[in-house]
Structure 1
Amino acid sequence: MAKVKYYYDSDTLSYQKIQRKKSTKFKRVLFTFLAAFIFMLTGFVVFTPFFESPKEKELKRELEFVKLNEELHNKKIEQLEKVLKEIQERDNNIYRLYFEVNPIPEEQRKAGFGGVNRYKALEGFDNSEMIIDVTRNMDILSKQLYVQSKSLDEIVKLAENKEELLAAMPAIQPVKKEDLTRMASGYGWRTDPFTKARKKHWGMDFTAPRGTPIYATGDGVVVRADQGASGYGKHVRIDHGFGFITLYAHMSKYNVRKGKKVKRGDLIGFVGNTGRSQAPHLHYEVIKNGRKVNPIDFYYGNLSPEEFEAMQKAAQIEGQSLD
């Protein structure tokens, strides 16, 4: 029950009951309500950061987990990139060098990541930049791992076939050194015996008497034994595999036919003077992956260091070739 309040009336010299007006009562109630609302609003603004809802706490934990995972993934990617870099260097500078195959260029290892925006579908989300960055790094790493995997597959295959490769490489002179009159002309620019103009001589000329034996310089299969190529006269071509082909020109006669398998040192024909030739000799070429190379780089099978050095000096003399 509400308390009754009085006031002293000096005119009547008595206490009178205080009568409250309804408007005053309403104002007081309204004031109390506004004060309470302002207090609640202030408390919400001030204390909300300290009192998160369960949903907010869950989202915050998820965000922290995502950021932690990003850091861990980036560290793992850095470690993998370091290991991969070491493998790539060994691959280019040891393995591929040992097996005489070209190193893989850096642009080939990282090719395929320019131009089109492949990460457009990841844009427009919270932490899109972070997600795109991790995804891009993973894609680049995956591509490099794929290229390296293919390279190592190739190296493993070459290692398995190393013995076969060594047997197939053209590693000896096609004419025995005791049968040679001289090494007449080497690989390079020489004077043409017919036109007297300087032109590229794509092989080596071995001067020897007509009928001197000619030997296969490596294991392989005879792919030509005819005189249908201009200038070569009677000649033999042997495919050794691994990108190697050898050519033996100006023969007097053959000792093999097309399709015959030969071993290094097998007799394949005899020195002659057929085709575009000035005197009896063997014109010998080595072709590697479709490109004619200097045959002298392959004579490690039957020459001593002193003999090889003497032949190298003779081959460098710019004289007149015999074909």
Structure 2
Amino acid sequence: MNPKKNKPVIGITIGDINGVSAEVTMKALMDNRILKLVTPVIYAHGKALTFYRKHLKLEDFNFMQIRNIGEIHHKKVNVINVTEECPEVMPGTETSEAGKMALAALDHAIADIKDHKLDALVTAPLNKNNINAESLKFVGHTEYLTEAFEAKESMMFMVSEDMRVGLVSGHIPLSQVTESVTGHKIEQKLKIMLASLREDFGIEKPRIAVLGLNPHAGEDGLLGKEEIEIIQPAIREFKDKGHLIFGPYPSDGFFGMMHQKKFDGVLAMYHDQGLVPFKTLAFDNGVNFTAGLPIVRTSPDHGTAYNIAGKNLADEGSMRAAIFMAYDILSQKQPWEEDE
């Protein structure tokens, strides 16, 4: 790779080629601002992109096919084939071949970023169902990347222009949430959130709101004691160390009154408690950022959307935001030049 590069190289894994992943990726990269800031490398197959270029009439989308990251061109959209043959593109259809290609793209990009050939990773949506097999239990990007980079702990951090929501528990059944919400786990996630807000988002003294687990945050023990016995002591420990941590707040009233705007971060206890309000308020430009990894990884906040795949209806706003956010986080760590 050119050692004189003045822009970060961002790998984009194509996800499921039968969903909207290729469409939102291509549309996002047609924004001329992106090529001025970053060098994109799509891990996919050129034939899949050519299919959608023609099918969706995206004539302004152009790319350079390269065999490996060493052939990268810093003024072009680069594409690396991750499989010898491109699976048949069938918009809106779940196929095992598309799942294999999605995983191959992810693994290829992981190898390149471990080899210091990429500066950040943006993952387009994939389908967990067609990736899972007896030999691999794929729960989600967050968990897969956490294991791949041997991180002790990570956190799903949903980020938009005026809201950042992290999760104590992620992709687990609701029946397991209560046992997973422990004082130790809350402390781990608060440490990750504090570090990320400072290092990734440049906020020197973050203000964090912690949500309760039970309705009405337990109603002083009437509707559950987790707030009194687990959440409040964890908050108090951080407050005693001088951190601006507040709560626990009832989640319905908290988001209903738009209190998230008063804080730099919000820690939710479980997946839907945090993601339902986040996606309601910020679906078009929200980004899924994995805090706690040794790399920068972002993703759109939506899924494969098979129901609109191939219909030219997908909004690329979240994918565009994910690419810009990867650049912004990288820029917190070192300055980059912009192409003229």
- Which structure would you say has the larger RCO, counting Cα contacts within 8 Å and 6 or more residues apart? 2
Asked if TM exceeds 0.5, the reply is: no
TM-score bin (small chain): under 0.3
Query: TM-score, normalization: structure 1?
Result: 0.23
Higher strand share: 1
